Chains A and B, each alone.
Chain A
Amino acid sequence: MAAEPGDIAPDFNLPGLDGGDEISLSDWRGSVVYLDFWASWCGPCRISLPEMVKLQSALSDAPFTVLAINLDEEPHKGVRFLKRFPVNYPVASNPDGSVAASYNITGMPNSFLIDPEGRVVLAHSGFRPGDMKIIRAHIDELLQSAAE
């Protein structure tokens, strides 16, 4: 069963897609995390990635981050994709899909909004124009309740 609202988001420790430092979900405990699974062969990801770049820029001062996990079996394809669609948030690489399996994702892209305590608040499968408005509303609500 896919990770659902109320579940503790499974932690992971993955290498960066660019070969940089390892990335763990637990590093962002205390922040709101928008975790996004994507791959270079996923058509809607060409729409969703630029939207998430805007999201990350808009909330750069908030306790928030977009965190992405690339699922290309050949990571260099993901790297090539990011040259065309550069991003401003950390991207981890999970070529064997083990983390995708632990979240049991149902589509591509697939994303999860995670609260500061590490709990899944929203699971979102696919991406259509207009989805970001709904996602942003959930993020704003979560940031507001975290600030109170």
Chain B
Amino acid sequence: MKLVALFVLLVVAGCQSVPSWERGVLARSDMQLEGSPTEALLNSQLYDSKEASAGGLSAAGAGCGCN
């Protein structure tokens, strides 16, 4: 248990927020989790209606912090 807690602590410590003006690399299309934004939007629409819930899956704006 202690080992798991230590692992989580180490992984979380590696998280860092990137300032909005340094997100050029994150905004590249090959850095996206979803290959097609339109398909992702349609999938999310289907998921939301099937699950009767919305949001919480990803941030909008292709990772660049835009809008």
Q: How large is the interface on B (under 10, 10 to 19, 20 to 34, 35 or more residues)?
A: 10 to 19
Q: Would A107 and B66 count as touching, CB distance under 8 A?
A: yes
DSSP majority for the B interface? loop
Contact of A97 among B19, B62, B65, B67 (CB under 8 A): B19
A83 CB–B CB distance under 8 Å: no
Interface residues of A (CB under 8 A from B): 37, 39, 41-44, 71-73, 97, 100-101, 105-110, 126-128
Given the complex, which residues of B lie within 8 Å of A41, measured CB to CB? 23-24, 27-28, 64
Contact of B21 among A39, A43, A126 (CB under 8 A): A39
B22 CB–A CB distance under 8 Å: yes
- A4–B30 Cα gap in the complex (Å)? 35
Residue of B nearest to A38 (CB): B21
Q: Would A43 and B66 count as touching, CB distance under 8 A?
A: yes
Given the complex, which residues of A lie within 8 Å of B61, measured CB to CB? 43, 126
Contact of A42 among B19, B22, B28, B64 (CB under 8 A): B64
Q: Would B19 and A101 count as touching, CB distance under 8 A?
A: yes
- A109–B65 Cα gap in the complex (Å)? 9
Take A97-B19, A100-B19 as given contacts and tell me if A72 and B66 are in contact as well, using a CB distance cutoff of 8 Å: no
Residue of A nearest to B62 (CB): A43
Residue of A nearest to B37 (CB): A43
Q: Would A72 and B24 count as touching, CB distance under 8 A?
A: yes
Minimum CB–CB distance from A26 to chain B (whole Å) comes to 22
Minimum CB–CB distance from A106 to chain B (whole Å) comes to 6
Minimum CB–CB distance from A82 to chain B (whole Å) comes to 16
Q: Would B28 and A108 count as touching, CB distance under 8 A?
A: no
B53 CB–A CB distance under 8 Å: no
- A106–B21 Cα gap in the complex (Å)? 8
Q: Would B64 and A105 count as touching, CB distance under 8 A?
A: no
Residue of A nearest to B27 (CB): A41
- A70–B62 Cα gap in the complex (Å)? 20
Minimum CB–CB distance from A37 to chain B (whole Å) comes to 7
What sequence of 0s and 1s flags, for each residue 17-34 of chain B, a beta carbon within 8 Å of any chain A beta carbon? 001111110011000000
